[in-house]
Amino acid sequence: MAQNLQAVKKRIKTSQSIFQIAKAMEMIAASKIRKAEVAVERYKPYSSRVTYIIQKILADKEIMDNSPLVKAREGKKLVFIISPDKGLCGGLVVNLFKKLYSSISKDDYVVPVGKKAISNAIRTNINIAATFNMGTTFPKYENIFPLKKITEDLFNLQEVGKVSIIYTNFKNMLIQEAVEDIILPIKRDEKFVNNSIEYIMEPSTKQVLSDMIPYYLEVEFYNALMNAYASEQAARMTAMRNAKDNAEEISASLTNIYNKSRQEKITNEILDLANGQQGM
């Protein structure tokens, strides 16, 4: 009985330690999400303006018919998949790779961003073109330039016919969805509303579109990185909250068992004493 009580007491202490660790990690993730939301709001005016100009240009039928940046073409696919560097994010990484496997063929190029994506890609023998770490802090703007260069090089040299990004889109604290955004060739947004103001673009609309592509790629990659980071923190916060609640429940259950066992032990000792007194 004494050994059983010691084992239960040790398990109570372990579950309480897990509760404290999970609670701390939940709070850290929550604070990181708030910072990410502020950064996204600050970046939104710039990204929205770049997107608007691109869609304004795509309203020109001649551009849609003739530009190589817009016309669909055959060839391999280049896919960037963005994952966390660390785990404890629930099913986030699993959902990303489900999306990846349903999207690529064996000849397509894959660029894993994040240690979890890298390890999974190596393990499954995917055709890896390059690898990058995601980092554990909010993504810096300069992180997108190597990704943009790979895209420009392979697409301009016609090594690939399509470029896409697979990442986890942050909708809210409870919903994060694995999505694939095709960034090249550029697609016209059917919901785009073209205002009545006509712009004169020099030297030509086609040249302006070509000059805008680097900024467009920066916006697409940075939006994906920011969403992936915010989703990582939200998924980790949810996972840690569940772990905390489970640890608290286990601790309470074990405490009840421990108290009942102690009471039973004391009762048995009293009975033994009473029986001894009657024997005398």
Cα torsion for 268, 271, 276, 277, to the nearest 10°? 150
Residue 118 — very low, low, confident or very high, per pLDDT cuts 50/70/90?
Answer: very high
The lowest-confidence range among 53-62, 70-79, 121-130, 228-237 is 53-62
The lowest-confidence range among 13-22, 63-72, 230-239 is 63-72
Cα torsion for 137, 138, 140, 144, to the nearest 10°? 100
228 close to 45: Cβ distance less than 8 angstroms: no
- Examine residue 147 and state whether it is found in any structural domain, yes or no: yes
For the ranges 36-45, 172-181, 224-233, 266-275, the one whose mean pLDDT is highest: 224-233
Output the pLDDT for position 69: 81
10 close to 251: Cβ distance less than 8 angstroms: no
Cα distances (Å, whole numbers) of residue 183 to 75, 128, 220? 15, 19, 7
Output the pLDDT for position 147: 95
Output the pLDDT for position 217: 94
pLDDT at 101 over 60: yes
- Counting residues of the chain whose pLDDT is more than 90, the rounded percentage is 34
Q: Count how many Cα atoms sit within 13 Å of the Cα of residue 186 in the half-sphere of its side chain.
A: 27
- Examine residue 97 and state whether it is found in any structural domain, yes or no: yes
Output the pLDDT for position 65: 67
Paired sense of beta strands 176-184 and 160-170, if any: antiparallel
CA distance 148 to 142: 10
Q: How many domains does the structure of the chain reveal?
A: 1
CA gyration radius, the chain: 28
3-state DSSP assignment of residue 273:
helix
Average pLDDT over residues 22-48: 87
| Averaged pLDDT of the chain | 86
Residue 140: φ, ψ to 5°: -85, 155
- Domain residues for the domain of 88 are 24-238
**Block residue for tokens 């470029």:** 163
DSSP 8-state secondary structure symbol assigned to residue 163: E
- Examine residue 12 and state whether it is found in any structural domain, yes or no: no
**What are 38-75's pLDDT values in tens digits?**
888 888 899 988 988 888 888 777 776 677 788 878 88
Output the pLDDT for position 166: 96
Q: Output the pTM of the full model.
A: 0.83
- Examine residue 245 and state whether it is found in any structural domain, yes or no: no
196 close to 176: Cβ distance less than 8 angstroms: no
**What are 130-164's pLDDT values in tens digits?**
999 998 889 999 999 999 999 998 988 888 989 99
100 close to 81: Cβ distance less than 8 angstroms: yes
Output the pLDDT for position 278: 61
Average pLDDT over residues 104-113: 92
CA distance 104 to 83: 17
- Examine residue 11 and state whether it is found in any structural domain, yes or no: no
Q: CATH number of the domain at 233, please.
A: 3.40.1380.10
3-state DSSP assignment of residue 268:
helix
Output the pLDDT for position 33: 86
- Examine residue 61 and state whether it is found in any structural domain, yes or no: yes
- Examine residue 249 and state whether it is found in any structural domain, yes or no: no
- Examine residue 141 and state whether it is found in any structural domain, yes or no: yes
At 39, which amino acid appears? A
